[in-house]
C-alpha cells in the first residue's frame, strides 16, 4: 500500500490550485447563455474566497477512521427522479440487496457508532448494515440529502434544470444556493462526528452529502461537486490522524466509492454517458512490500501474492474492450500489464471464431519512479514500505520531480485517450502507487501538497471517466478499489498501519 502524510496547513482551507467549473457540452442555446453569464475568472475567484473562509476541522486526540456509505437504490433512483431532501422514496429490493452486500463488505469492522441521515432510504440502509449490533443508530438532520426546495418537487423548471446540470455550484433556486449550503452543512457534520469519542465510525447518508463530506474533509470546494462519485451503497473511507493539540488532523482518503457492483461496468458518470476512460492499475505486491524496511530499490519482480493480484485485476477487466495498456518500465508493472494483456487477448478466443484480439501495449518512462527515488540525497533512507509519512521522507526537490514527471505522463495519457480515430476508448495504465497519486492530482488540478491526501494499495484500481472531453477534466469513479482481490486484498476498514492506530 501507499499512503502519503498530509502536509501541514495546506489541506482543509488553504488551496493552491482550483479546478475550473465542470461544463456539460450541449447544443442548447440556453446552456451557452448560462455559461456566458459568468466568466471563469469570476467563478474561480468566488471559489478561492469560499475556500479561504472555510474553518479548519476540529482537532482530535486519537486516530479515527470514518466509513461513508451511500444508501441503496431507492424507488426514485429507479425512476430517475430528483429526490433532494424529500422523504417520499424507499429502498427497492435491489437497494436492500446492495445494502446487504455492503454489510458483508464491512462485516469484519467493529464500529463504535453509526450516524445516519433521518430520511427513510438512508435509515433503512443503515439498519441493514448495522445488523444485530445493540447500540442505537444516531440520526442527524444535517446528514440529509441536498436541499433543492421547489426543484425537488416539480419537473417544470426546465431552465433551472439546465443550470443545475451546467453549473451546480452557482445554481440558485428560491433564493438559495443548494451546493454552497451543502458544503457548509458538511463542515458542521464533521465537527459533530470528530467530536464524538468513537474511533471507528460508520456514516450512512446520500450521494450529494457524501460528496460534500469527502470534499470538505480534504479541502476541496464546491466546484468539485459531481467529480467524486458516490454510487448506491458505495463505500468511502477517510483516515484522520491527530496533530498538535488543537490543530486540524491529518486526513487521508483511503478509498472512494468501493461499490457492490463492478466499478468498470458500463454506465453513466454523473448522469452523462462516458466514451473515454482511464483505468489506473497499481502493480501487484513485490518482495519489497512485505519487508519491514527497505532502501529505495523498487524495480523488483512480483511475489506470489502480486501474481495472484494481477490475475484478479485481469479478470475484472475481462469484459472490457481495452484500446491500449500503458506501463511503467519497472518489472512488477510490466508483469502486471502482461497478465492483463494475456487475458484480454484470450477473451475473444472463448468464442466460436477463436481469433485473439490484439491489445496494444507500450511502456513510457514518464511513469517510472525508480530513477526519481534514486536521486534522494539520503542514501540509505529506510522506511516501512508504503506507510503514512512515506512522502515526507523525500526531499522537496525529489517530490517536485515526481510531481512534474507525473504531469508529463498525464498529458501523454490524455493525448493517447483522445485520439479522434477512436470515438470510444479505454486506456489501462499500470504503474507504481506514487505515480498514480500524482496522475489523480493532475486530473483534479491540485498541487503536489495534496499527494498526502490519497492512499493506494498494491493491486488496486482507480477509474477516471471523461464524459465531457479532455478540456473539462475527469470524473473520479473510484479510488483504491480492491473488492476484486477478494481474500488477497487488505480489508476495507482494518488498519493499514497497525492495530493500535485504528
Which residues contribute to the annotated binding site? Answer: 70-77, 121
How many Cβ atoms from other residues are within 10 Å of residue 385's Cβ? 18
Residues 6+ apart with CB under 8 A from 46: 170
Annotated binding site for substrate: 70-77, 121
Q: Report how far residue 318's alpha carbon sits from residue 295's, in angstroms, rounded to the nearest whole number.
A: 36
Handedness of CA 310, 312, 314, 320 (dihedral sign): negative
Q: Report how far residue 56's alpha carbon sits from residue 335's, in angstroms, rounded to the nearest whole number.
A: 44
Q: Report how far residue 441's alpha carbon sits from residue 453's, in angstroms, rounded to the nearest whole number.
A: 10
Whole-Å CA distances, 454 to 129, 222, 251, 349, 350: 26, 19, 9, 39, 39
Q: Report how far residue 280's alpha carbon sits from residue 476's, in angstroms, rounded to the nearest whole number.
A: 11
Identify the active-site residue in 145, 223, 330, 449. Answer: 145
Return the C-alpha cell found at 65: 477512521
Residues 6+ apart with CB under 8 A from 242: 59, 60, 61, 62, 63, 249, 250
Q: Verify whether residue 71 is a known catalytic residue.
A: yes
Identify the active-site residue in 50, 71, 250, 484. Answer: 71
Are the C-beta atoms of 59 and 246 separated by less than 8 Å? yes
Are the C-beta atoms of 72 and 233 separated by less than 8 Å? yes
Handedness of CA 407, 221, 265, 284 (dihedral sign): positive
DSSP-assigned letter for residue 454:
B
Q: State the SS3 of 93-142.
A: HHHHHHHHHHHHHCCCCCCCEEEECCCHHHHHHHHHHHCCCCCCCEECHH
Return the C-alpha cell found at 472: 473539462
Q: Please report where in the chains the cell 499512503 appears, as a residue.
A: 3
Residues recognised as catalytic: 71, 145
Amino acid at each position: 500500500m501507499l499512503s502519503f502524510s498530509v502536509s501541514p496547513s495546506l489541506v482543509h482551507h488553504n488551496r493552491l490550485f482550483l479546478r475550473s467549473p465542470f461544463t456539460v457540452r450541449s447544443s442548447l442555446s440556453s446552456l451557452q447563455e448560462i455559461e456566458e453569464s459568468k466568466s471563469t475568472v469570476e467563478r474561480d475567484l468566488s471559489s478561492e474566497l469560499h475556500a479561504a473562509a472555510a474553518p479548519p476541522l476540529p482537532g482530535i486526540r486519537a486516530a479515527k477512521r470514518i466509513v461513508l456509505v451511500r444508501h441503496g437504490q431507492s424507488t426514485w433512483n429507479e425512476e430517475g427522479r430528483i429526490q433532494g431532501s424529500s422523504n417520499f422514496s424507499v429502498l427497492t429490493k435491489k437497494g436492500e440487496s446492495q445494502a446487504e452486500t455492503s454489510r458483508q463488505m464491512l462485516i469484519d469492522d467493529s464500529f463504535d457508532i453509526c450516524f445516519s441521515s433521518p430520511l427513510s432510504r438512508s435509515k433503512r440502509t443503515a439498519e441493514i448494515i448495522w445488523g444485530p449490533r445493540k447500540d442505537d443508530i444516531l440520526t442527524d438532520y444535517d446528514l440529509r440529502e441536498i436541499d433543492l426546495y421547489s426543484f425537488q418537487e416539480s419537473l417544470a423548471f426546465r431552465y433551472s434544470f439546465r443550470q443545475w446540470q451546467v453549473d451546480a455550484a452557482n445554481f440558485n433556486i428560491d433564493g438559495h444556493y443548494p451546493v454552497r449550503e451543502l458544503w457548509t452543512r458538511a463542515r458542521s457534520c464533521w465537527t459533530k462526528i470528530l467530536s464524538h469519542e468513537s474511533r471507528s465510525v460508520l456514516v450512512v447518508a446520500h450521494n450529494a452529502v457524501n460528496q460534500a463530506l469527502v470534499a470538505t474533509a480534504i479541502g476541496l470546494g464546491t466546484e468539485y461537486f459531481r467529480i467524486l462519485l458516490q454510487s448506491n451503497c458505495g463505500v468511502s473511507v477517510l483516515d484522520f490522524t491527530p496533530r498538535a493539540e488543537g490543530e486540524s488532523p491529518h486526513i487521508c482518503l483511503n478509498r472512494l466509492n468501493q461499490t457492490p457492483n463492478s466499478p468498470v461496468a458500463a454506465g453513466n458518470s454523473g448522469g452523462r454517458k462516458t466514451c473515454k476512460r482511464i483505468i489506473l492499475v497499481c502493480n501487484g505486491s513485490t518482495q519489497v512490500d512485505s519487508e519491514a524496511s527497505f532502501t529505495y530499490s523498487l524495480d523488483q519482480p512480483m511475489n506470489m501474492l502480486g501474481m495472484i493480484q494481477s490475475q484478479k485485476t485481469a479478470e475484472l477487466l475481462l469484459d472490457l474492450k481495452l484500446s491500449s495498456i500503458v506501463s511503467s518500465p519497472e518489472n512488477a508493472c510490466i508483469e502486471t500489464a502482461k497478465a492483463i494483456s494475456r487475458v484480454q487477448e484470450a477473451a475473444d478466443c472463448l468464442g466460436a471464431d477463436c481469433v485473439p484480439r490484439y491489445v496494444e501495449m507500450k511502456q513510457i518512462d514518464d511513469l517510472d519512479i525508480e530513477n526519481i527515488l534514486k536521486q534522494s540525497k539520503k542514501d540509505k533512507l529506510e522506511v516501512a514500505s508504503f506507510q503514512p509519512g512515506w512522502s515526507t521522507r523525500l526531499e522537496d526537490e525529489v517530490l517536485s520531480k515526481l510531481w512534474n514527471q507525473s504531469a508529463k505522463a498525464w498529458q501523454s495519457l490524455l493525448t493517447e485517450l483522445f485520439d479522434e480515430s477512436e470515438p470510444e476508448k479505454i486506456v489501462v495504465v499500470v504503474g507504481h502507487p506514487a505515480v498514480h497519486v500524482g496522475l489523480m492530482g493532475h486530473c483534479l488540478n491540485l498541487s503536489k501538497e495534496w499527494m498526502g491526501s490519497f492512499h493506494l494499495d498494491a493491486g488496486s484500481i482507480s477509474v477516471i471517466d471523461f464524459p465531457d472531453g479532455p478540456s473539462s477534466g475527469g470524473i473520479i469513479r473510484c479510488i483504491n478499489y480492491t473488492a476484486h482481490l477478494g481474500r488477497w486484498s487488505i480489508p476495507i476498514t482494518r488498519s493499514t498501519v497497525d492495530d493500535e492506530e485504528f
